[in-house]
């Protein structure tokens, strides 16, 4: 299986991806960061993360701008635009006499800390890559859906119009395919970076680059969380005069827990292999925005505030749910500040308001507003997505999770420690007077309320989806509790004495570590499953290739989503004839849960010889059916209307004898 | 400088290594799978009279397949066909059978049965 040619190809493909990431995302992002915040000091990791996040924002803004000017979105146009953009940023830096390079602040103080961090990073890569090695094939349903739009953008060289056609029943009782209708589930910002990478690397959408990009997003989110915790640690330990627990400990502990222990289950690597693009963007941007805002407010830096505005705008164009969650987090942090700080809050607000009125932050905000007004608004604002997320919960799945359900997905120990952390901040005057403490409190408490009692905040979103966002502040609060306890314990040890001389302290420390490590390993263990789907992927793709050659214009294809073993949603990438092409028999539960939903897609496969099945075939120009012959064959064999025209062990294609040609 | 940026350099190197490893893994998983199945399809599914069909053999090793034509008078005509690795063969039955069946042993020595018919 292993050959030199394969190694060379893999190396070249990886290098080309890394070069596009560096010159297409990191470099423009870095130059923008230097232009907006030339005098702010960053650690090199912070600088890289911010450059990456800003670079993605630049891709979204650039492609939206060029696309709205009706310019073709190809390598030539985008490349020329990027050349001009990079030169302009260089000129701005030169005119403002800002050096291109920046002096980084060291993140870790000692060599030992550096060694431990390196070890944790190696562990992080090992665990995550080991998991991905079993799930790297293009099988995920969501990723198939998302990549359709990314491919459409690069194929048509134009911004995609998020529309789909559905099977509807008219007033006369006949079924037909509807006119294209707007979709609110997808946001353009989550697809444009993928299209951008394809345009410049030329890599196949069926290859590894989409998953590698999502992997990079996940890695970045782990580092963003560790850096946010580091920033919290800096603010908290400085103002509370902690002597034993340093900001580096905050960084290292977060890196170990997010990167090594709880690093596979949702919302981490499972979201990577599952292609949950929007959430992965949210998981990066939310902690990064909180980090930048925390630093902006504590350092009173307008430049950092400007970076924060740009990042919030990028998130708004990338993922609606994450933006919604972020707004609640910011609102509750402000509310917590008001409650905990009272009069001091208004004094601080005046300072912050003056900071917001500085030219750099004001100009950034004005540019974002102008872009929204003149170029493009986030698509979900134009559709009804916002209204559907606000209001009293409309389904049982949206009425909140119980403590037992939350403990199950977050480990009871972690959950308990997090609650302790919340109580500790609320009850300790030094912590609740500290902006870092209040931010951590606001981040945790709002997501806890949104997950457990969403009706209080009029949130109408599936509670399990919000719970994925909750897992991050819960972990941060739990880790904060551990470190606060360690600091308190440290203070009890007489000076010039070692912690190892106190057996009780050593035993306590070991118990805490084991209690943290065990659920983390269990969490990883549950997610690691051997899943060899290569054969199924190949069979599905081979069938799609066959159909592509034989389907005529105006003819429809119907495939089954229940029993086809893998990659059925990826079939649409072969045809590029619409988001719902081929039409799909959805999960059976969806028809049961929603009796008003059209049932043609169900009847045409499950019961083609019933009155409904026959009517659907009469009304709709369905020419081909793609099914798993192990589950759906007998109903077609019995009928004289169907021919079996393609057969492989797990895929069968039937053709319909007489079809209604009118689309 | 090296110390300040060492974490970043480590991350970059590990990312490149991961990308190379995962790309190789991806290719080898697909290649492995592509060598394990046979597909059977009509050459012109749109023409009810044309019975020409294709056997696509996706395997590294040679394999013998048994092709049977089933006729209306219950007569069965069997042929044994050797196929070379990755060979694709087109067949045209002399008279139109009711169905065509291909029988072969897959890579795990399980018997597989594929059928085609036009109505």
- Residues in chain A, total: 663
Mutation site, B6, B18, B105, interface A, largest A CB count within 10 A: B18
A415-447 pLDDT, tens digit per residue, is 999 999 999 999 998 899 999 999 999 999 999
H helices of B1-110, where? 2-34
Residue A582 has φ and ψ, to the nearest 5°, of: -75, 150
Mean per-residue pLDDT of chain A: 91
Q: Is B95 on the interface with A (CB under 8 A)?
A: no
Residues in Cβ contact with B115 at an 8 Å cutoff, skipping those fewer than 6 apart: A644, A647, B40, B99, B100, B101, B102
Q: Is A107 on the interface with B (CB under 8 A)?
A: yes
- Residues of B whose CB is below 8 A from A45: 7-8, 11
Q: What is the pLDDT of residue A567?
A: 92
Compare CB distances from A208 to B22, B34, B118 and report the shortest one's residue.
B22
Tell me how far apart the terminal alpha carbons of chain B are, to the nearest angstrom.
Answer: 75
Compare CB distances from A118 to B10, B22, B48 and report the shortest one's residue.
B10
Whether residue A331 has pLDDT greater than 50? yes
Q: What is the pLDDT of residue B119?
A: 83
Q: How far is CA A25 from CA A31, A51, A81, A227, A375, in A?
A: 10, 7, 14, 20, 21
Whether residue A249 has pLDDT greater than 50? yes
The DSSP secondary-structure symbol of A106 reads: P
Q: Is A106 on the interface with B (CB under 8 A)?
A: yes
Residue A484 CA, chain-centre distance (Å), reads 31
- Return the percentage of chain A with pLDDT > 90, whole number: 70
Residue A286 CA, chain-centre distance (Å), reads 10
Q: How confident is the model at residue B4 (pLDDT cuts 50, 70, 90)?
A: low
- Residues of B whose CB is below 8 A from A644: 99, 115-117
Q: Rounded distance, CA B51 to CA B44, Å? A: 8
Whether residue A507 has pLDDT greater than 60? yes
Whether residue A645 has pLDDT greater than 80? yes
- Decide if A64 contacts A376 (C-beta within 8 A): yes
Q: Rounded distance, CA A195 to CA A205, Å? A: 9
Q: What is the pLDDT of residue A662?
A: 46
Taking CA atoms, what residue in A is nearest to B114?
A: A647
A44-81 pLDDT, tens digit per residue, is 999 999 999 999 999 999 999 999 999 999 999 999 99
Flag if B4 and A11 touch (Cβ within 8 Å). no
Q: Is B3 on the interface with A (CB under 8 A)?
A: yes
Compare CB distances from A18 to B16, B25, B37 and report the shortest one's residue.
B16
**Helix or strand or coil: residue B64?**
strand
**The two three-digit tokens of residue A7, written as one number:** 């190694």
Q: Is A121 on the interface with B (CB under 8 A)?
A: yes
Flag if B56 and A129 touch (Cβ within 8 Å). no
Compare CB distances from B32 to A1, A125, A543 and report the shortest one's residue.
A1
Taking CA atoms, what residue in A is nearest to B8?
A: A45
Q: Is A381 on the interface with B (CB under 8 A)?
A: no
Compare CB distances from B119 to A7, A534, A657 and report the shortest one's residue.
A657
- Return the percentage of chain A with pLDDT > 70, whole number: 95
Flag if B119 and A104 touch (Cβ within 8 Å). no
Q: Rounded distance, CA B104 to CA A478, Å? A: 58
Taking CA atoms, what residue in A is nearest to B41?
A: A646
Q: Is A644 on the interface with B (CB under 8 A)?
A: yes
A374-393 pLDDT, tens digit per residue, is 999 887 776 666 666 666 77
Mean pLDDT along residues A329-346 = 94
- A407-431 in b/e burial notation, b at 16+ Cβ within 10 A? eebbbebbbebbbbbbebbbeeeeb
Flag if B7 and A207 touch (Cβ within 8 Å). no
Q: Is B40 on the interface with A (CB under 8 A)?
A: yes
Mean pLDDT along residues A448-469 = 90
Q: How confident is the model at residue B81 (pLDDT cuts 50, 70, 90)?
A: very high
Q: Is B54 on the interface with A (CB under 8 A)?
A: no
Burial class (CB in 10 A: 0-12, 13-18, 19+), A272: buried
Compare CB distances from A14 to B16, B28, B106 and report the shortest one's residue.
B16
Q: What is the pLDDT of residue A248?
A: 92
Cα-based torsion angle of the residue sequence A265, A266, A268, A271 in order, rounded to the nearest 10 degrees: 120
A80-129 pLDDT, tens digit per residue, is 999 999 999 999 999 999 888 877 888 888 899 999 999 999 999 999 99
Q: Is A14 on the interface with B (CB under 8 A)?
A: yes
Mean pLDDT along residues A545-559 = 95
- Residues of B whose CB is below 8 A from A106: 3-4
Flag if A648 and B37 touch (Cβ within 8 Å). yes
- Residues of B whose CB is below 8 A from A217: none
- Decide if B104 contacts B112 (C-beta within 8 A): yes
A140-162 pLDDT, tens digit per residue, is 999 999 999 999 999 999 999 99
Tell me the shortest Cα–Cα distance from B98 to chain A, in angstroms: 11
Instruction: Give this prediction's pTM.
Output: 0.93
H helices of A157-208, where? 192-201
**Helix or strand or coil: residue A555?**
coil
Residues in Cβ contact with A344 at an 8 Å cutoff, skipping those fewer than 6 apart: A433
Beta strands in A91-219 (DSSP E): 163-164, 167-169, 175-177, 181-182
Flag if A539 and B28 touch (Cβ within 8 Å). no
Flag if A9 and B23 touch (Cβ within 8 Å). yes
Is the ipTM beyond the 0.85 threshold?
yes
A464-502 pLDDT, tens digit per residue, is 889 999 999 999 999 999 999 888 887 877 766 766 677
Whether residue B35 has pLDDT greater than 80? no
Tell me the shortest Cα–Cα distance from A256 to chain B, in angstroms: 14
Q: What is the pLDDT of residue A504?
A: 74
Whether residue A663 has pLDDT greater than 50? no
């Amino acid at each position: 299986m292993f050959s030199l040619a394969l190694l060379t190809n893999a190396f070249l493909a990886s290098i080309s991806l890394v070069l596009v990431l560096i010159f297409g995302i990191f470099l423009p992002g870095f130059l923008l960061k230097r232009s907006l915040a030339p005098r702010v000091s960053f650690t090199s990791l912070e600088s890289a993360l911010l450059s990456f996040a800003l670079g993605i924002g630049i891709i979204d803004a650039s492609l939206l701008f060029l696309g709205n000017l009706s310019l073709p979105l190809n390598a030539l146009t985008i490349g020329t635009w990027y050349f001009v953009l990079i030169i302009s940023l260089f000129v701005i830096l030169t005119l403002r006499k800002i050096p291109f390079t920046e002096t980084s602040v060291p993140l870790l103080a000692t060599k030992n800390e550096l060694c431990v961090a390196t070890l944790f990073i190696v562990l992080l890569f090992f665990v995550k890559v080991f998991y991905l090695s079993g799930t790297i094939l293009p099988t995920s349903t969501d990723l198939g859906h998302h990549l359709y739009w990314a491919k459409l953008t690069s194929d048509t060289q134009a911004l995609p119009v998020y529309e789909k056609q559905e099977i509807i029943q008219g007033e006369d009782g006949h079924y037909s395919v509807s006119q294209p209708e707007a979709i609110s589930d997808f946001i353009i910002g989550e697809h444009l970076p993928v299209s951008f990478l394809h345009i410049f690397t030329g890599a196949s959408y069926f290859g590894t680059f989409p998953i590698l990009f999502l992997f990079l997003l996940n890695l970045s989110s782990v580092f963003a969380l560790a850096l946010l915790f580091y920033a919290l640690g800096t603010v908290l330990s400085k103002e509370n005069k902690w002597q034993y627990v340093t900001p580096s400990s905050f960084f290292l502990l977060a890196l170990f827990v997010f990167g090594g222990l709880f690093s596979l289950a949702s919302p981490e690597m499972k979201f990577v292999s599952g292609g949950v693009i929007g959430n992965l963007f949210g998981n990066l941007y939310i902690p990064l925005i909180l980090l930048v805002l925390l630093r902006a407010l504590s350092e009173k830096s307008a430049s950092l505030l400007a970076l924060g505005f740009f990042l919030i705008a990028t998130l708004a164009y990338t993922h609606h749910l994450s933006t919604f969650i972020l707004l609640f987090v910011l609102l509750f942090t402000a509310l917590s500040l008001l409650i905990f700080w009272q009069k001091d809050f208004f004094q601080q607000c005046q300072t912050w308001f003056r900071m917001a009125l500085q030219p750099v932050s004001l100009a950034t905000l004005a540019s974002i507003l102008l872009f929204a007004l003149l170029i493009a608004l986030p698509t979900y604002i134009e559709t009804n997505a916002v209204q559907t997320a606000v209001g009293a919960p409309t389904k049982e799945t949206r009425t909140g999770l119980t403590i037992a359900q939350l403990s199950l997905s977050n480990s009871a120990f972690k959950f308990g420690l997090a609650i302790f952390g919340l109580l500790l901040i609320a009850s300790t005057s030094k912590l609740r007077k500290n902006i870092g403490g209040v931010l951590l409190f606001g981040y945790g408490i709002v997501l806890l309320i949104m997950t457990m009692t969403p009706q209080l905040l009029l949130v109408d979103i599936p509670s399990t989806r919000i719970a994925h966002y909750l897992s991050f502040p819960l972990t941060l609060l739990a880790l904060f509790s551990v470190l606060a306890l360690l600091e308190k314990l440290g203070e009890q040890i007489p000076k010039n004495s070692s912690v190892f001389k106190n057996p009780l302290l050593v035993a306590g420390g070991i118990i805490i570590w084991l209690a943290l490590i065990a659920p983390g390993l269990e969490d990883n263990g549950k997610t690691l499953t051997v899943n060899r789907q290569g054969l199924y992927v190949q069979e599905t793709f081979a069938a799609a290739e066959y159909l592509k050659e034989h389907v005529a214009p105006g003819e429809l294809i119907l495939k089954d989503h229940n029993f086809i073993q893998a990659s059925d949603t990826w079939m649409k990438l072969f045809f590029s004839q619409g988001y719902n092409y081929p039409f799909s028999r959805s999960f059976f539960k969806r028809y049961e849960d929603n009796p008003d939903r059209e049932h043609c897609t169900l009847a045409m496969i499950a019961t083609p010889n019933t009155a409904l099945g026959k009517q659907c075939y009469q009304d709709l120009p369905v020419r081909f059916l793609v099914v798993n012959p192990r589950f759906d064959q007998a109903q077609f064999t019995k009928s004289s209307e169907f021919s079996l025209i393609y057969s492989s062990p797990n895929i069968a294609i039937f053709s319909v004898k007489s079809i209604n040609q009118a689309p | 400088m090296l110390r300040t940026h060492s974490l970043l350099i480590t991350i970059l190197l590990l990312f490149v290594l991961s990308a190379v490893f995962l790309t190789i893994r991806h290719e080898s998983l697909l290649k492995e799978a592509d060598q394990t199945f046979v597909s059977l399809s009509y050459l012109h599914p749109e023409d009810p009279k044309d019975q020409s069909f294709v056997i696509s053999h996706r395997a590294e090793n040679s394999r013998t397949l048994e092709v049977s034509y089933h006729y209306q008078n219950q007569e069965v005509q069997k042929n044994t066909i050797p196929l070379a690795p990755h060979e694709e063969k087109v067949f045209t039955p002399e008279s139109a059978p009711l169905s065509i069946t291909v029988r072969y042993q897959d890579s795990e020595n399980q018997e597989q049965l594929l059928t085609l018919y036009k109505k």
